[in-house]
Amino acid sequence: MKKCLSALSMLSLVFTIILAGCGGGRTADTTSTTQAPAAQTTQAAAAQTTQAPAAQTTQAPAVSGFAADAVVGVSLPWLGTQNWAEANDMFKTQLAAAGFKPIVQQADNKVPQQQQQIESMIQNGAKVIVVGPVDGSQLGTVLEEAAAAGIKIIGYDRLLENTTAVDGVVQFGSVKTGELQGQALLDGLAKLKGAGPYNIELFGGGPADPNAPNFFTGAMSVLQPKIDDGTLVVVSGQKDFTQCATLDWDNSKAQARMDSLLAGFYSGKKIDGVLCPNDGIARACITSCLQAGQDTPVTSGLDAENETVQWIWQGKEYSTVAKPTDALVGKTVEIIKTLQAGNAMPIPTSTTNNGKKDVALYELPPVVVTKDNIKEVFANDPGRLDLLK
Ligand code: BGC
């Protein structure tokens, strides 16, 4: 069986190499002298061939390439959490290092601002536009205009919804991230809070961000059975995403909600844990609990922000989920180089329906971080490693 499988993977690898070798459309762009090395493209596609189920290996038709020094636009939603601030810097550096002319902007969480920025990227001749949307479903018109102009559109970190104008999305699996958050909360409770049942509360991210309901769904797939069997008690009873969401991912709104939950439901009661969708919200909830005279609750988180890395190291916070920005930006730039060289979008790791089409997803694996594995996880991240002192 194993032999059979590896023979199959070899076959698909050879097939991929032949396909990549045939990659039409290369003749169209004679100005592209610093194209991505063919080997790199082939290797990436081959690596993904082994992962993607057969049904998901369909590729978009080959495209003709574009100039090696073309304009590439990047529109980010805001710089309010560390991951977006890192992406802002890393896109500038990595795109310039790859020979492109980057236009990198952030929309301060405002949909009209993001629409205008993308519009001006189109006017400035961008060949690819990378978008981390403020609101996943509010960019259809401007993205369709970009697609009609032949511009390739790549979603970054967040899904682009309700539009056919998207060629793929690069992200850490968002449902998977939620599952890791739910499991980390359960593990932390068992480790730090003795025997159950445990009193907990649930928080979600910004409702306009397509990641937020997915994080929550993933987490609830782990937590709901434990709520059902009585191991976990959501004391407030607030268990729907809409009740638990945090408008605009605003930490102060999360802290205000935690304050009122504690005041309303926890007099004479201990809170043991809080499901938190990212690090900023986790720190806000911990702060609220401490101010209300509670012990530190076990929390989940996301982004491995510097402050949280320090808190975990000092034992003030239980966990986060790392989704390294340099790897996600690197993956995006690799795809842009593939397109520049005249190839089709690489084979995705999976697909998801965005309301209008099945969108190709290029997913990297998120990793849970606790004090136990923190040095190992950041072994190659000198910035974060430096914080562990
Ligand atoms: C990102 C998180 C981030 C959040 C708020 C989400 O879409 O995946 O990394 O913490 O937005 O900015």
Q: What is the mean pLDDT of each run of 10 residues along the chain (389 residues)?
A: 37 34 28 30 31 40 81 98 98 98 98 98 98 96 98 98 98 97 98 97 98 98 98 98 98 98 97 98 98 98 98 97 98 98 97 97 98 97 95
Name which residue sits closest to atom 10 of ligand 1, judged by CA. Answer: 278
How does DSSP classify residue 13? H
**Count of Cβ atoms closer than 10 Å to residue 315 Cβ:** 10
* The three-state (H, E, C) secondary structure of 308-341, written as one string: HHHHHHCCCCCCEEECCHHHHHHHHHHHHHHHHC
Q: Residue 81 CA: which ligand 1 atom is closest?
A: 12
| Structure tokens given for 189 | 């409770």
* Among 180, 203, 278, residue to substitute to test ligand 1 (most atoms within 8 Å of Cβ): 278
pLDDT at residue 63 in the model = 53
Contact 114, 75 (CB under 8 A): yes
In this structure, the residue with its CA closest to atom 9 of ligand 1 is 303
- How many angstroms separate the alpha carbon of residue 206 from the centre of ligand 1? 9
DSSP state of 296: P
Return the ligand 1 atom nearest residue 215 CA: 8
Cis peptide bond prior to 197, omega within 30° of 0: yes
Beta carbons of 267 and 207 less than 8 angstroms apart: no
Beta 298-299 vs 168-172: how paired, if at all? unpaired
pLDDT tens-digit map of 334-345: 999 999 999 999
What does the alpha-carbon distance between residue 137 and residue 159 come to, in Å, rounded to a whole number? 9
State which ligand 1 atom lies nearest to the alpha carbon of 323: 9
Residues with CB under 6 A from ligand 1: 80-81, 83-84, 157-158, 205, 209, 211, 249, 278, 302-303
- Within 8 A by CB and 6+ apart from 306, the residues are 82, 383, 384, 387
Per-residue model confidence (pLDDT) at position 273? 98
pLDDT for 385: 96
143 closest CA partner among 124, 164, 165, 126: 165
Tokens of 61: 């038709």
Q: How far is Cα 253 from Cα 256, in angstroms, rounded to an integer?
A: 5
Distance (Å) from CA 15 to ligand 1 centroid = 38
Residue type, 304: A
Taking the centre of ligand 1 as the mean of its atom positions, its distance from the CA of residue 295, in whole angstroms, is 27
Q: Which residues pair with 199 in a beta bridge?
A: 233
Query: What is the model's pLDDT at position 389?
Result: 86
Q: Which of 157, 159, 175, 307 to mutate to test the pocket of ligand 1 (most atoms within 8 A of CB)?
A: 157
Angstrom CA distances, 243 to 236, 240, 254, 329, stand at: 11, 5, 12, 33
